[in-house]
Structure 1
Amino acid sequence: MSNQPTWEEIVNLREILKETNVQYWLNENFFSFSWWFLLITMILFWVIWWVIVDKSKIMEILLYGLFVTIIAILLDVIGVSFLLWGYPNMLTPLIPPIFAIDVGHLPVLYMTIYQYFPTWKSFLAAMIIAASVFAFVFEPFTVWLKIYELNNWKYIYSFPIYILIGVFLKWLLIKVKCLESYSSSQ
């Protein structure tokens, strides 16, 4: 007899976890102050963004935001799966664990920085300031609201990641635009 779990045992545990998570969400999250905060701020961020976005560059800016969303979801799934952090209060009991931030707050803020700081120098300065606010103000605030909890993570770890996401994606988009320009000139 082996102590190794079988796939069937893992599926059974996942089923129990799913049911427990949904019950917890229904009893502790749904319509709570934190739930309303996440919902309203996510909607407000998108409405404000729609008003201020440069619609002549909307495809490029949205592509940047989509990349931010994909990376945010991926990093959140990894972080939650490895118990680096967790989300006691969520908008939905689904993956990604913090839907409002991954598809609302972060992409909108990153897209705004991308739009308003086009040069590398201004962009880097804005990303450093934004990363500082995200890591040392916004994250502690969400901990205080009991939306976010640190398990095996520290705020300082988030700081360079926020910067790297913005810088890497700006670089990637520049490369994509160059490829597009090169291809259309052929």
Structure 2
Amino acid sequence: MTYPTQEEINKVHTQLVEMRYENFIHQDLFSFQWWFLLSLFVLPWILWWLLVDKNRIKDIWLFGSLISILIITLDDLGIELNLWYYPYQVLNIIPRLNPIDISVLPVFHMLVYQYFTKWKSFIIANILTAFLYAYLAEPLFVKINIYVLTNWDYIYSVPIYIGKAVLIKFILEGVLLKSKGA
């Protein structure tokens, strides 16, 4: 049995980059989906700036940054494992859905973190938002061909939406408590 060489893999990768570029220029750019994704990239940050508690902005921003890193990592993993893919992009050079990964999800997670400071209310709010994301937003994105599930089901997303928010809050509160106690 022969295995692909790094040179062969790089050749296929180069072809893929060229194909993505052509697809972006002729299919994605200025389409309804492109404008929709561009608005999802910008509008949540405007909303966030209007609603964010400026007195807690450092903690909220840190929560959002950490959750965004986790979201990007999980999205890259899902794409690499062929669990889903995104036919439309704002930028063709990035296969993940950046308007969601670094705008919509982090912004709404930060707002939940800001408004639901107690653990019980935070978990309940995250359960509700997880179901909204999984059963309202994801199907909408599938319907308008922004999100394609290949080996994934909506129900799998629910514990991930909840778990990542709880994990980041747990880590952040531990770090903040230690830094305030030091």
Normalising by the residue count of structure 1, what TM-score does the alignment of the two structures yield?
Answer: 0.95
Q: Distance in 1 between matches of 2:80 and 2:22?
A: 19
91-100 vs 136-145, greater mean Cα deviation: 91-100
Counterpart contact for 1:73–1:96, Cα < 8 Å: no
- The answer for the alignment partner of 2:75 in structure 1 is 76
Uncovered stretches (5+) of structure 2, i.e. residues with no partner: none
State how many pairs are aligned.
182
Superposed CA RMSD in Å reads 0.9
100-109 vs 33-42, greater mean Cα deviation: 33-42
- The answer for the alignment partner of 1:175 in structure 2 is 174
Q: Distance in 1 between matches of 2:65 and 2:99?
A: 14
- The answer for the alignment partner of 1:125 in structure 2 is 124
Counterpart contact for 2:45–2:103, Cα < 8 Å: yes
Q: Distance in 2 between matches of 1:96 and 1:168?
A: 26
Q: Which amino acid aligns with 1:91?
A: V
Displacement of 1:96: 5.0
- The answer for the alignment partner of 1:50 in structure 2 is 49
Q: Which amino acid aligns with 1:170?
A: K
Whether 1:108 and 2:107 are equivalent positions in the alignment is yes
Aligned pairs (5 A) from 1:23-102: 23-95=22-94, 97-102=96-101
Counterpart contact for 2:134–2:154, Cα < 8 Å: yes
1:69-123 Cα distance to aligned partner (Å, 9 max, x none): 1011111111111110000111111235101100110000000000000001110
- The answer for the alignment partner of 2:5 in structure 1 is 6
- The answer for the alignment partner of 2:15 in structure 1 is 16
Identity %: 41
Q: Which amino acid aligns with 1:111?
A: M
- The answer for the alignment partner of 1:140 in structure 2 is 139
Secondary structure of residue in 2 paired with 1:94: coil
Normalising by the residue count of structure 2, what TM-score does the alignment of the two structures yield?
Answer: 0.97
